[in-house]
Structure 1
Amino acid sequence: MKKLLLFTLLVFNFGFSQEDAWVYFNDKPDAAFYLSNPLQMLSQRALDRRTSQGIILDNTDVPIAQTYIDQVTAATGITVMAKSKWLNSLHVRGTQADIQLLTNLPFVNHIQFADASLNSRHSNTIQKTTVIHPVNKQLEVLTDFNYGGSSNQIQMLNGHLLHQQNYTGQGKMVAIMDAGFPGVNSASPFQRLRDNNLILGGYNFPDRNTSIYTRNSHGTSVLSCMAGYVDNQLVGTAPDAQYYLFITEDANSENPVEESYWVEAAEMADSLGVDVINSSLGYFTYDNISYSYSYSDMNGLKTFAARGANMAFSKGMICVTSAGNSGNSANPHIATPADAITTLTVGAVDASENYVSFSSIGPSFDGRVKPDVCAKGYAATVSNSSGSIVNANGTSFSSPILAGMVTTFWSAVPNMTNAQIVQFVKESADIYANPTIYKGYGVPDFQLALTNALSANNFENDIILLYPNPVQDKVTIVFSDTNFSGNLILFNSIGQHVGSFDISETNASVNLENLASGLYFYRLKIENKTTQGKLLKL
């Protein structure tokens, strides 16, 4: 009798246990309206950011059709947990049978279960989206700041030199995705933020409300690395930027819905006009081991979070992401979305710029350099929720320290694209020519990055021309000095290096006939001068 009862229970659980899945739709029937009325879907600041970087609006900017959401919500046994306009999908929860019935709706394209083994049973599903595992849930302007204990983490990056030039993040918006921000509305290290109205708002996605000063204090410490201020104790790397605080993480459990919250928050950040996203989160394993990832999933394109991060970059933002704290574990490699192709992934070093063994290593599974760069993550100076200044370990802190400097750097050269900013940061790092799986390109020098970026404008006394632009096959470089040599470097719209060409007065044309059509960014180096711009390939 006991064996029969056990068998009955197993059958019951198999048939009726709750599953997580993504439901993808065929189209967006309201696209024409929204594309004709862009302020119905994006703020003016967001539109201005797109315009300044030459990014056009497309269907991914259009909200999911409300009629689709309503019909899925009304389906028997289905709970809609999150939505993504970029990926035209809903994250749903229900039994396998109830979720599978959604394929009968005519506007549903396919269903993707978080448990990949379920997808193989259905011809109308695709391979599972990867799911995310938070990193380090247990926590291991003035122009002449008294940095105190935070001196090392800023000076290591030469961030103090930018501060001394009055670049402190002003004019830039940052979104922080994290587990909670208790104390930010009351603790003294955040008083300067509050006094200057630099916290613009936020959202709590797990609770579906605007209560952001609650839940886990991990986000409080992360924010302090960028924006905290206590004279002679702690100064953040971007103390004068504006901030949105998004809770996307449920610190009490690991579930794929956290990945969907992350993407939904990134979409909200985009619509508000945010420039930089910091994500001190990473995902690899879940409470339900059927949802967990393997290293082979870390290819930058497979997981829901990585695809969302890549989309964020395509909209003109920069995602700065913790590499993870699994360097000493059986799975030492980066988690997602640190594997995303376009995210700036940050590993941890100590005060002497030595690799710290807990920092997750690269490369990505497909062989790209990861982490991209490093910052201090061992004995970093942070604030806790009570306002005490303490030391803490983790790439959770190297990421915002670096993200703040990216923001401050961008505030110094605000007209540059996100792809240009990221490339200058990488090129300024101390081992850029010889990256490793531990430190990537190394520790950036933001003064060097700024010097190089400003030199891009040093052609004012020269005539420089790339023609024709748009180009169909060959582009020719004209320079006022008839005796010159240099290099033309091309990047695609998501910042990937696609070509490098030597040029000179006798070899001034470059054949681009085999280059795919689209918008590219170029960097032209001639002698000791550099300029950059956009090139359209027909």
Structure 2
Amino acid sequence: MTIFSIAMKKAILLLWLTLSAAAFAQQDAWVYFTDKPNADTYLANPLTMLSQRSLDRRTAQNIPLDLKDVPVSQDYINTVASQSGVTVYAKSKWLNAVHVRGEIADIQALTQLPFVASVDFADNAIDNGNRPAPNRPAAFQQKFETLADFPYGTSQSQINMLNGQQLHQQDYTGNGKVIAVLDAGFPGVDVLDAFARLRANGHILGGYDFVARSSNFYTSNGHGTAVLSTMGGYVEDQLVGTAPDADYYLFITESNTDENPLEESLWVEAAEEADRLGVDIITTSLGYFHFVNPNYNYNYDDMNGTTAFITRGADIAFSRGIIVVASAGNSGASATDPHIGVPADGINVLAVGAVDADEVRAAFSSLGPSYDGRVKPDVSAQGQQTIIADSNGAIIAANGTSFSGPIIAGMTACLWQVFPDKTNAQIVGLIRQYADRFSSPDTFYGYGIPDFGAAMNSQLGIGNTSKEMFTVYPNPAGGQLYIRNNGTAMPSDLILYNAMGQQVVTLHFETDTTPVNLQQLPKGVYFYSITAGNNVTSGKILKQ
């Protein structure tokens, strides 16, 4: 599949190489304000700032309103916009700031306005900061550049890998939860068969193109279409998303003709709108490390959870009661910058790496930890040969943490549906706790691959889980697997599936310990389902 933004952005890079330094005379900067003059009025009338659903989410999690919820003063914005040589492109109430572009002197002159607290240039050298001047142009390793054609397949492995089918079997499919997708475009979502179920059930609540300032969000780059399909897509026997019954808002924040810090500001603006609308989860498969102007580039030491504008916005979103899921990035094979980008470095952001169907880390998946030593990525899911729907309606396989991220976001919605009274922090904690490397996280997988079924069962107090009714061992297994009956005095049936969802072993057993011959099976990850009476339990094993 061809993504036109690759060619466009490379063309911009070639153009940059032919221009002099004067081409970057127009600088980007954030202008921070001192206060919010009408704060008391807004706080006394919260429905002028936030929807009832947003207020209900706050109440449910005991999160009080504060000054960050109050809009930026429009008088301040108008005054800045009226200054010579300065253009305002975005605003943020959470950070009480606007994103501007202009000549250095004109932007610096804004500090003379009585309500301007400070100015922060995207080029840190102008602020006499510590970020060294980069010596290389932008590499444009966008999250969505790794899409690749692949033959027809099934999406079952990407759900079963997370034991997500257990939630779906109990009718936890994201119903009642709202997900905001912040991406590069959503062409075809309004007409393609893969999204007919979403449309028929009214699950697409709206959206906005923040780049073009347009209400038409069914446009631009098809990357967002593919991302949405991993959660909300439905094509029988081909593709089932992880949250097919969740509600969705679709926001375009990524430009297809430029790579600029303005995209960070648009992302934060969209996240604030998601908060206003009462969204539960934000998922984003965008990330930033390099820009067209290399003076704006980040370094690894900026991946500390507190530096980037977008990262600070993401953490504020979490403080409002929202779960923020971000793809870790696709630069893991880079010799120069293999680490996660922003906002995946956020302290409270659930950053997701990529594995293949055999649960082996994808070589492109960006590495942790954050610069300050926190576990990143947080968890991992299938991002290699992931089954998606593209903007032409084709069901194909594609590569990228762009897809492992929303797969986790969808399952997160399902888990939160099970436990609506839990806070965002508690849900994220469960996801990490029931990942398979929780006791020994690393820089490749983070805490590992979550088991959403186990997380659900543990909180519901279900005693008849596979770990108690049956012991399946050894795991990893060689040529022989054993099922030990832990006191279940009833006939039982085993079905073993491969990563493509095909049944490869079926076995009826009644003995205390039953051998299962795996000699003829190739190496890889397999999923088992054991039925004992009315109890159906499942898990996964690795055949070596």
Q: Which category describes the TM-score, using the shorter chain as reference length?
A: 0.7 to 0.9
Residue 87 of structure 1, CA deviation: 0.2
> What secondary structure sits across from 1:222 in the alignment?
helix
CA distance in structure 1 between the aligned counterparts of 2:190 and 2:259, rounded to whole angstroms: 27
Residue 368 in structure 1 maps to residue 374 in structure 2 = yes
1:137 positional shift: 3.7
Coordinate RMSD, CA, aligned? 2.1
Matching residue of 1:507: none
Match in the other structure for 2:409: 403
**Counterpart pick for 2:45 among 37, 46, 61:** 37
For the residue of structure 2 that corresponds to 1:341, the secondary structure is: coil
Give secondary structure in 2 for the equivalent of 1:337.
coil
Secondary structure, counterpart of 2:360 in structure 1:
coil
Correspondence 1:200 to 2:219: no
Task: Give the % identical residues.
Answer: 57
- 1:389 aligned to which of 395, 398, 401: 395
Matching residue of 2:314: 309
- Match of 1:34, SS? helix
Q: How far is the alpha carbon of 1:454 from its aligned partner? A: 2.5
CA distance in 1, matches of 2:186, 2:293: 27
Secondary structure at 2:416 match in 1: helix
The runs of 5 or more residues in structure 2 that have no matched partner are 1-18, 463-544
> Does residue 106 in structure 1 map to residue 111 in structure 2?
no
1:275 paired residue among 276, 280, 289: 280
SS in 2 for 1:319: strand
Deviates more, 1:29-38 or 1:250-259: 250-259
Q: Which amino acid aligns with 1:111?
A: V
Indicate if the aligned counterparts of 2:234 and 2:241 stay in contact, CA closer than 8 A. yes
| Offset, 1:120 | 1.1
Residue of structure 2 equivalent to 1:18: 26
Give the drift of 1:375: 0.3
AA at the equivalent of 1:313: F
| 1:10, distance to aligned residue in structure 2 (A) | 7.1
SS where residue 249 of structure 1 aligns?
Answer: coil
Distance in 2 separating the partners of 1:367 and 1:322: 18
2:165 pairs, out of 146, 149, 160, with: 160
Counterparts of 2:44 and 2:145 in 1: how far apart (Å)?
Answer: 43
Query: In structure 2, the residue corresponding to 1:149 is in which secondary structure?
Result: coil
Alpha-carbon distance in 2 for matches of 1:108, 1:169: 43
CA contact (8 A) 2:389 2:395 kept: yes
Q: Given the alignment, which residue of 321, 325, 350 partners 1:344?
A: 350
Identify the residue that residue 326 of structure 1 maps to in structure 2.
331
* Other-structure match for 1:521: none
Cα distance, 1:127 vs structure 2: 8.1
The match for 2:64 is 56
Aligned position for 1:448: 454
Give the corresponding residue for 2:98: 90
Q: What secondary structure is seen at the aligned counterpart in 1 of 2:143?
A: coil
SS in 2 for 1:375: strand
- Corresponding residue SS for 2:413: helix
CA 257–337 in structure 1, closer or farther in 2 if over 3 Å, else same: same
Residue 254 of structure 1 corresponds to which residue in structure 2?
A: 259
Query: Is 1:148–1:232's contact at 8 Å kept on the other side of the alignment?
Result: no
CA distance, structure 2, for counterparts of residue 43 and residue 215 of structure 1:
28
Distance in 2 between residues matched to 1:261 and 1:66, nearest whole Å: 17
Question: Where does residue 295 of structure 1 map in the other structure?
Answer: 300
- Name the CA distance, whole Å, in 1 between partners of 2:145 and 2:217: 17
- 1:418 match: 424
- The answer on 1:225 being equivalent to 2:230 is yes
Please state how far the C-alpha of 1:133 moved relative to its aligned partner.
Answer: 7.1
Contact 2:111 2:119 (C-alpha < 8 Å) held by counterparts: yes
C-alpha distance in 1 between matches for 2:141 and 2:271: 17
The match for 1:70 is 78
Alpha-carbon distance between aligned partners in 2 of 1:295 and 1:137, rounded to the nearest angstrom? 21
Alignment of 1:135 with 2:143, yes or no, is yes
Q: Distance in 2 between matches of 1:368 and 1:177?
A: 25
Asked if the contact 1:133/1:254 (under 8 Å) is kept, the reply is no
The answer on whether the counterparts of 1:413 and 1:454 sit within 8 Å (CA) in structure 2 is no
**Counterpart of 2:211 in 1: which secondary structure?**
coil
1:93 match: secondary structure = strand
Question: C-alpha displacement at 1:386, in angstroms?
Answer: 1.2
Residue 219 of structure 1 aligns with an amino acid whose one-letter code is G
C-alpha distance in 2 between matches for 1:347 and 1:65: 39
- Report the AA paired with residue 375 of structure 1: A
Cα deviation, residue 117, structure 1: 0.5
Letter in 2 for 1:265: A
Look up the SS of the partner of 1:269 in the other structure.
Answer: helix
Q: 2: CA distance between counterparts of 1:155 and 1:202? A: 30
Q: Aligned partners of 1:315, 1:452: CA distance in 2, in Å?
A: 27
Cα contact 1:169–1:240 (8 A) shared by 2: yes
Query: For structure 1, which runs of at least 5 residues remain unmatched after alignment?
Result: 1-8, 141-146, 457-538
1:153–1:376 CA contact under 8 A, matched in 2: yes
Aligned to 1:460: none
In the TM superposition, residue 136 of structure 1 has moved relative to its aligned partner by 2.4
Q: Quote the Cα distance in structure 2 between the aligned partners of 1:102 and 1:137.
A: 38
Q: Is the 8 A contact 2:153 2:387 kept in 1?
A: no
Deviations 1:447-484 (A, max 9, x none): 1111223249xxxxxxxxxxxxxxxxxxxxxxxxxxxx
Amino acid at match of 1:107: F
CA shift at 1:296, angstroms? 0.5
CA contact (8 A) 2:146 2:400 kept: no
Query: Secondary structure of the residue that 2:226 maps to in structure 1?
Result: helix
Equivalent pairs, count: 436
Q: Quick check: 1:133–1:282 contact (8 Å CA) kept in 2? A: no
For the Cα contact (< 8 Å) 1:300–1:340, is it kept in 2?
yes
Matched, 1:236 2:241: yes
Superposed displacement of residue 97, structure 1: 1.1
Q: Distance in 1 between matches of 2:371 and 2:131?
A: 17
Shift of 1:158: 0.7
* TM-score, length-scaled by structure 2: 0.78
Structure 1 moving runs of 4+ over 4 Å: 130-133
> Within 2, Cα distance between the matches of 1:218 and 1:204?
14
CA contact (8 A) 1:177 1:262 kept: yes
The answer to whether residue 88 in structure 2 is matched with residue 80 in structure 1 is yes
CA drift at 1:139: 2.2
Q: Secondary structure at the match of 2:155?
A: helix
* Aligned-residue offset at 1:210: 0.9
For the 8 Å contact 1:137–1:251, the answer to whether it is kept is no
User: SS of 1:98's equivalent?
Assistant: helix
Distance in 1, Cα, partners of 2:310 & 2:263: 9
Displacement after TM superposition at 1:361 (Å): 0.6
**8 A Cα contact 1:424 1:453, kept in partner:** no
3-state DSSP of counterpart to 1:136: helix
The aligned counterpart of 2:509 is none
- The one-letter amino acid paired with 2:447 is Y
